[in-house]
Amino acid sequence: MKVVILAGGLGTRLSEETGLRPKPMVGIGGHPILWHIMKIYAHYGFKEFVVLCGYKSEVIKDYFVNYYMNNSDVTVDLATNNVEIHQNISEPWKVTMFYTGKYTQTGGRIRKIKDFIGNEPFLLTYGDGVADVDISAVVASHKKSKKLATLTSIQPNGRFGSLEIEDDGKVLSFQEKPKGEGGWINGGFFVLEPEIFNYIPNRDDAVWEQEPLKQLAAEGQLNAYQHHGFWHCMDTLKDKDDLNKMWAEDKAPWKVW
């Protein structure tokens, strides 16, 4: 199955970084978060990627076009313009990059690759979130459900501490940022049948998380794989710093490879 990655948004909440590059190219430990996401999928045997580009798409294209050279030891003879490759550390990936528009919404981006995907199921995720999710288990859950779409549901940590208080003001318990405070949410890491394209309106402003997913749920065609492990998106500069800290300390739960 192909792995489709949404990588075209403006990333305005991370403007400190995204003025120069699209959010999926913001670095964690010297590699773009996009690379980390692809490494997760490749670990489970999914190595054909379709990157849906938009804002500053040239940065993503340049990265992959020059990936082989930038990850090799080379000698350049300036007199003859001869380049000798000594050692290469590359990835056995096939990466297709589609420019889907600078301001196109998530649903519009997905619909633009309908013909490229063809009549086969595919994987889909966002270009700004990492997890230690078992992709093989998500696929197995999807097949067992016999539904058109499966998403990975997660329980993020609460933003604030939680208090249990009696009527007289006595605090019975305190928990700092309890997990699952707001219930289950969409964590991405989808498995989709090609029929889902019929649920996406043919317009650039179609939002995948609105009409399509709502209609799939209403028709009983949306399955949820519940992930109880690590999940973290990179929305803000703090998120980026937190992920870099985990990587630097060799405590990155998403590093399953």
- Whichever domain contains 52, its CATH number is 3.90.550.10
Residue 12 lies in a domain: yes
Mean of the per-residue pLDDT values of the chain: 91
**Range of 75's domain?**
3-156+182-248
**Average of pLDDT values for 85-104?**
91
Residue 163 lies in a domain: no
Percentage of the chain lying above the pLDDT 90 cut: 77
Residue 257 lies in a domain: no
Domain count, the chain: 1
**Average of pLDDT values for 161-180?**
59
Residue 255 lies in a domain: no
Query: What pLDDT is attached to residue 173?
Result: 55
Query: What pLDDT is attached to residue 212?
Result: 95
pLDDT tens digits for 27-65? 999 999 999 999 999 999 999 999 999 999 999 999 999
pTM: 0.89
Residue 101 lies in a domain: yes
Give the angle subtended at the CA of 5 by the CAs of 148 and 143, to the nearest 5°.
Answer: 25
| pLDDT of 18 over the 90 cut | no
Residue 100 lies in a domain: yes
Residue 92 lies in a domain: yes
152 by Cβ neighbours in 10 Å (0-12 / 13-18 / 19+) ranks as buried
Residue with more model confidence, 204 or 70: 204
Residue 164 lies in a domain: no
* Residue 13 pLDDT class (50, 70, 90 cuts): confident
**Which of 26-35, 66-75, 245-254 is least confident?**
66-75
Query: What pLDDT is attached to residue 20?
Result: 84
> SS3 sequence, 15-79?
HHHHCCCCHHHCEECCEEHHHHHHHHHHHCCCCEEEEEECCCHHHHHHHHHCHHHHCEEEEEECC
